[in-house]
Amino acid sequence: MEPLLELRGVNKSFGVVHVLHDVDFAVYPGQVTALVGDNGAGKSTLVKIIAGIYGRDSGDYRFEGNEVEVHGPRDVAALGVEVVYQDLALCDNLDIVENMFLGREETTRFGLDEVSMETRARETLASLSVRTVKSVRQSVASLSGGQRQTVAIAKAVLWNSKVVLLDEPTAALGVAQTRQVLDLVRRLADRGLGVVLISHNMGDVLEVADRITALYLGRVAADVSSKDVTHGQIVELITAGRSGDLGIAENPATATV
Amino acid sequence: MTDTQSTPAAPVASGFDNDNRQAGSIGDSARDYVNRLRGGDMGSLPAILGLVVLVVIFASLNDRFLTTYNMANLVVQASAIIVLAMGIVFVLLLGEIDLSAGVAGGACATITALMLIDYDWPWWLATLAGVAFGMVVGLVIGSLVSFLGIPSFVVTLAFFLGLQAVPLKLIGSGGSLRYNDPVLRGLSIKNVPVTAGWIAAVLIVLAFAALSLWSYRSLSAKGLVHPPIGLVAIRIAVLAAIVLGLTALLNANRSPNPIFDISGIPWAAPVVIALLLFWTFILTKTRFGRHLYAVGGNAEAARRAGINVRRVRIMAFVICTGMAALAGLLSASYTGKVSPGSGGGNVLLYAVAAAVIGGTSLFGGRGRALDAVIGGLVIATISNGLGLLNQAAYINFVVTGGVLLLAASVDAISRRRRSSAGV
């Protein structure tokens, strides 16, 4: 199967600090790809490169099989790649519909087209089987953490995006809300989207992910199917970069010095 | 109350289990409203209650307060405060402040007056020159705030000091510019013909009713969130009562002298109403208005949504200072002159107080053009009523300062309740 989005041999340095070493990363349609790694492994940097916020020092950015030029977040959004950041980026004083269309409002000759926007927002939420919000016209301030996450994800899906990156979507949520969001993540992939899940929670990762990419000190330690690994193996990949015959042959921390 | 209107069949596809597309009846709407109040979403309610209390107090203390002559005077006095406050609302919406708007209005009025007197420009061109000067000042303030990142408090404090030099240089200390342009001076001293006033009032009520019903129909036909028809009817009735009542009041002969007749709506009122309608449309029905609220609510979210936050911020200051120019002209038309002190003193703080009393938040993200009208009426009522009571000037300062503090406290407390109640 051809990847929707693929990075090949990406290097990135900040000054003298070499953050990413020849990173290969692929997102497949209809699959949830989990991106795991310890703090400082380079997850956030990789996400920001995909999102177009950081440039790359070297390496290819490929989308649907073609190499593409990416110079900023707008280029990435134009490709159909949406990022849902950890801090959600919702406006508390606006309602759900207003937030979902923020920056891309629809208008008629007489101003904002509220009828069309509310209708489309409803359709999108319904297509994601979101049934937990009381009204699409309630302000986002009144929503729970899980509902806010849902709105942020629905906002990303509204624009017929092909790839959605979710940065720690369940980090601040309770059990029931985590359940809602994980179900939603699974449904996104079932619709044929390529989903990237960045998470520290191995339980979540093993439950919804199809593939797991583990980063260790800026290198890809493993890119495996989630069926082939156990909880313990992932933890070893994250903390030591290797697990049995999986992972980096030599410990790069000692090898590169 | 019972649910009498037929609920339109909602499309089943969306399937929100508890999505109440309309608050079933007027009773439900009333309950929703009470819940919002409890949650800290007070809106203009404190201001309206305060206005009623003030009117009752002043009317009982002085029998001249409620005369139609004084009411017309009050409308004219309020107009300058209202227009300035309307401009301030845009800056407050972003969580910024503009301390220079008052003196900027004075400087703009000076330029307009000079163009009228020294260069014999027609009134509209002179007005345009004043407003353009204000917008340029706003552009500079907004650019300093958004490009250099200087807090707006500091930038506008500097402009508050600097702009006072403009009228002082152009007029000279101790002097004043008097002009008698029939339009610009007439804003305060001339009235709309009685028949025209009635026609305009009826047209406004009819247009509001038609728009409300049309919006109700298009929302309910698609099964979208909409208010119950009873609430729509109540809104139309309240607006009709206010507009037609005020028109009747101001169209009556209010002359204290039986020899000649003074009647009709002062021209300042239609100016305020036109500005109110225009800015309400901009704030609620355009992308720019939506972006203003978004930047005020969460600037980072707005930036990520692709909104040009800098442009929005600069535009807010341009609008604020442009409106300040109009406010300067309104207050000049009331006194009939521009002097170096115009727009100084407590003018700006009155306007900020008016916006906050009306329900605009000092913390950004909440506010309407209508807030400025309601708050401006409260402030004008205080100064008008205290003036009639022949109180010393210091009382006026103390009372207005107290009211501003009270309004800011209500704002801060309701904000805290909102964040805990999550409304």
B299 in the same domain as B399: yes
ipTM over 0.90: no
> A211-216 and A32-37 as β-strands: parallel, antiparallel, unpaired?
parallel
Question: What's phi and psi for B220, nearest 5 deg?
Answer: -70, -30
Determine the straight-line distance between the first and last CA of chain B, rounded to whole angstroms: 26
Contact with chain A for residue B311, Cβ under 8 A: no
CA A108 to mean position of chain CA atoms:
33
Work out whether the CA dihedral A235, A238, A239, A243 comes out positive or negative: positive
Secondary structure class of A243 (helix, strand, coil): strand
**All residues at 6 or more sequence positions from A197 whose CB lies less than 8 Å from its CB, including other chains:** A32, A33, A34, A35, A166, A169, A185, A204, A205, A208, A209
Judge whether A165 and A81 are in contact, CB under 8 Å: yes
Return the closest-CA partner of residue A42 out of A76, A68, A17, A75.
Answer: A17
Residue A7 to residue A125: CA distance in whole angstroms? 31
At B129 the pLDDT is 95
Same domain, yes or no, for B225 and B135? no
What are the tens digits of pLDDT across the range B363-399? Answer: 888 999 999 999 999 999 988 888 888 777 788 778 8
B319 and B300 housed in the same domain: yes
Strand pairing category for A58-63 and A66-67: antiparallel
CB nearest to B224's CB, from A103, A107, A115? A115
| Residue B291 shares a structural domain with residue B401 | yes
Residue B15 covered by a domain: no
The CA distance from B226 to the nearest CA of chain A, in Å, is: 10
Does one domain contain both B86 and B135? yes
Asked if the structure places residue B69 within a domain, the reply is yes
Q: Which of residues 5-34 of B touch A (CB under 8 A)?
A: 13-21
- Name the residue with higher pLDDT: B243 or A134: B243
Sheet (strand A5-14) strand order:
A17-27, A5-14, A58-63, A66-67
Give the containing element (helix H, strand E) for B259. none
**Whole-number pLDDT of residue A233:** 86
**Based on the domain organization, do B164 and B216 belong to the same domain?**
no
Nearest in space to B166 (alpha carbons), one of B137, B123, B125: B137
Min Cα separation A126/chain B (Å): 5
Pair B296, B332 in one domain: yes
Which of B212, B230, B265 is where one domain is finished? Answer: B265
Q: Per residue in B213-231, pLDDT tens?
A: 998 888 888 888 888 888 8
Give the pLDDT of residue B69: 87
Contacts B301 to A, Cβ<8 Å: 88-91, 102
Tokens matching residue B39: 């949650």
Q: Residue B329: name the closest of B47, B41, B62, B133 by CA.
A: B133
Kind and range of the H or E element at B343? none
Size of interface A-B (CB pairs under 8 A): 110
Nearest residue, CB atoms, B418 vs list A74, A118, A141: A141
C-beta atoms of B294 and A136 within 8 A: no
pTM of the prediction?
Answer: 0.86
Contact between B307 and A102 using a beta-carbon 8 Å cutoff? yes
Searching chain A, which residue's CA lies closest to the CA of residue B216? A115
Question: What does the pLDDT read at residue B8?
Answer: 40
Residue listed under structure tokens 């404090």:
B157
Average pLDDT over residues A155-181: 84
Q: How far apart are CA B35 and CA A199, in angstroms?
A: 38
- Residues 6 or more apart whose Cβ sits within 8 Å of residue B208: B236, B239
- Interchain pair A102, B290: CB under 8 A: yes
pLDDT tens for the 423 residues of chain B, in order: 344 443 343 333 334 544 555 556 677 777 777 777 776 677 778 888 889 999 999 999 988 888 888 888 899 999 999 999 999 999 999 999 999 999 999 999 999 999 998 888 999 999 999 999 999 999 999 999 999 999 999 999 999 999 999 988 888 878 888 888 888 888 888 888 889 999 999 999 999 999 999 988 888 888 888 888 888 999 999 999 999 999 998 888 888 777 888 888 899 999 999 999 999 999 999 999 999 999 999 998 888 888 899 999 999 999 999 999 999 999 999 888 888 888 887 888 889 999 998 889 888 889 999 999 999 999 999 888 888 887 777 887 788 788 778 888 888 887 787 766 554
Of B14, B222, B286, nearest to A126 by CB-CB distance is: B14
**Whether B252 and B184 share a structural domain:** no
- With 0-12 / 13-18 / 19 or more C-beta atoms within 10 angstroms meaning exposed / middle / buried, residue B174 is exposed
Please, which residues have CB within 8 angstroms of residue A14's CB and are 6 or more apart in sequence?
none
Sequence-separated contacts (24+) of B64-73 with Cβ below 8 Å: B64/B388, B65/B384, B65/B385, B65/B388, B67/B254, B68/B249, B68/B250, B68/B252, B68/B254, B69/B254, B69/B255, B69/B256, B69/B262, B70/B384, B70/B388, B71/B249, B71/B250, B71/B254, B72/B250, B72/B254, B72/B262, B72/B266, B73/B384
| Residue-level pLDDT at B3 | 41
Nearest to A119 among B224, B365, B418 (CB): B224
Distance in Å from the first CA to the final CA of chain A: 38
CA atoms of A182 and B178, how far apart (whole Å): 72
| Distance separating alpha carbons of residues A135 and B190, to the nearest angstrom | 50
Closest CA to B24 of B315, B292, B170, B231: B231
Q: Which backbone phi and psi does B125 adopt, to 5 degrees? A: -70, -40
The pLDDT score that the predictor gives to residue B130 is 94
SS3 label, residue B241: helix
The span from the CA of A150 to the CA of A130, in Å, is 8
Residues in CB range of B339: below 8 A, 6 or more apart: B167, B171, B175, B176, B177
Q: Does some domain include residue B174?
A: yes
CA distance B415 to B306: 28
- Per the listing, tokens 């980090």 go with A171
- Based on the domain organization, do B98 and B142 belong to the same domain? yes
Q: Is residue B38 part of a domain?
A: no
Q: Which helix (H) or strand (E) holds B360?
A: none
Indicate the residue among B203, B234, B265 that finishes a domain: B265
Q: Within 10 Å of residue B34's Cβ, how many Cβ atoms? A: 10
* Within a domain: B270: no
The reply to whether residue B294 touches residue A91, judged by beta carbons under 8 angstroms, is yes
Under an 8 A CB cutoff, do B297 and A94 touch?
Answer: yes
Give A53→chain B minimum CA distance, Å. Answer: 11
Please tell me whether residue A59 adopts helix, strand or coil conformation: strand
Q: In terms of DSSP H, where are the helices of B122-251?
A: 123-143, 152-163, 165-171, 186-189, 194-221, 229-251
Domains of chain B: total:
2
Identify the sign of the CA torsion A211, A50, A123, B366.
positive
Residue A132 predicted with pLDDT over 50: yes
Burial A205-216 (b: 16+ CB within 10 A, else e): bbbbbbbbbbbb
Same domain? For B225 and B370 the reply is no
Amino acid at B338: V
Domain carrying residue B196: 191-265
Residues of A in contact with B307 (CB under 8 A): 102-103
State the Cα–Cα distance between residues A250 and A240, nearest whole angstrom. 10
Check B365 against A139: CB less than 8 A apart: no
From A145, which residue of chain B is nearest by alpha-carbon distance?
Answer: B422
- In angstroms, the separation between the Cα of residue B310 and the nearest Cα of chain A is 14
The reported pLDDT for the residue numbered A252 is 53
Name the residue facing B301 among A89, A105, A141 (closest C-beta): A89
**Is residue B105 a part of any domain in this protein?**
yes
Q: Give the total residue count for chain B.
A: 423
Establish if B163 belongs to a structural domain. Answer: yes
Interface test with A, best of B22, B222, B224 (most A CBs within 10 A): B224
Residue B206 and residue B157 share a domain: no
Residue B236 and residue B297 in one domain: no
Where b means 16+ CB within 10 Å and e means fewer, B194-212 reads: beebbebbeebbeebbeeb
Cβ–Cβ under 8 Å, residues B57 and B327: no
Tell whether B182 is within 8 A of chain A (Cβ): no
CB distance from B286 to chain A under 8 Å?
Answer: yes
The C-alpha of A124 sits at a distance from chain B's nearest C-alpha, in angstroms, of 9
Collapse the DSSP code of A246 into the 3-class scheme (helix H, G, I; strand E, B; otherwise coil) and give the result. strand
Q: What is the CATH number of the domain that holds B306?
A: 1.10.3470
DSSP SS3 for B225? coil
Residue B237 in any domain: the answer is: yes
Closest alpha carbon within chain B to A130: B16
Q: Which residues of B touch A133 (CB under 8 A)?
A: 16, 19
Interface contact flag, A111 B18, Cβ < 8 Å = no
Determine the Cα–Cα distance for residues B270 and B212; give it in Å rounded to an integer: 21
The helix or strand, by DSSP H or E, that contains position B383, with its residue range, turns out to be helix B369-388
Distances (CA, A) of B244 to A65, B159, B234, B240: 68, 42, 15, 6
Q: Which helix (H) or strand (E) holds A41?
A: none
Find the residue in A nearest to B365 (Cα). Answer: A93
